[in-house]
Amino acid sequence: MGSSSSKADITKGRKDDVRVEDREKDVRIVEVWIALRTLDGFWCFGANHWSVILRLSNGQYVCSQKETQGFVWTTVWNSMRSAALSTWTNESNPTNRVRTSCYGYCDFSWHKFHDWVPLGDSYYLGLDDCQNFAREIVNMITDKSVGMFPLEDGPTFYP
């Protein structure tokens, strides 16, 4: 990963920061994507886990997501591919692709977003889950709404 330190509490999640040399700069979020990874298992019925991919003005990418225990993971990467493939899966050896949907360009403070990200949070399927967490981030940063089915107009990444 591109970050050398993070605020981490394994019981709540992880919150990375940008590269050390960029921490005093006005790093901006400049583009927002939704990433979808199909979960495996007959009990999943084609369900997807959602994350948000953020492109930063310093060239790094962020994957922010909530998983089923309510843990929030915000990890910083040096490529969009790495960020997208860090989208949670229920597989120990992921084989499912990650599809992306672009929600546009923006100009939002990385530091404001980083301060906002919760670590431990509740998780209620259909109310306070990964989809609604992703929708909240997209709306906060871009003022756009994400529908029930994202566009999937971006690149697809394979493990």
Q: What percent of the chain has pLDDT over 90?
A: 54
Indicate if the pLDDT at residue 125 is higher than 70.
Answer: no
Q: Which of 50-54, 90-94, 151-155 has the lowest mean pLDDT?
A: 90-94
Q: How confident is the model at residue 122 (pLDDT cuts 50, 70, 90)?
A: low
Q: Which of 35-39, 40-44, 47-51 has the lowest mean pLDDT?
A: 40-44
pLDDT tens digits, 65-120: 988 777 888 999 999 999 999 998 877 778 889 999 999 999 999 999 999 988 76
Q: What does the pLDDT read at residue 120?
A: 66
* Contact criterion met (CB below 8 Å) for 129 and 123: yes
Parallel, antiparallel, or unpaired for β 28-38 and 48-56? Answer: antiparallel
Q: How confident is the model at residue 17 (pLDDT cuts 50, 70, 90)?
A: confident
CB environment 139-148: b (16+ within 10 A), e (fewer) = eebbeeebee
The number of C-alpha atoms within 13 Å of 85 and in the hemisphere containing its C-beta is: 13
The pTM of this model reads 0.86
Indicate if the pLDDT at residue 149 is higher than 50.
Answer: yes
pLDDT tens digits, 107-118: 999 999 999 988
How far, in Å, CA of 100 to CA of 126, rounded? 21
Indicate if the pLDDT at residue 10 is higher than 60.
Answer: no
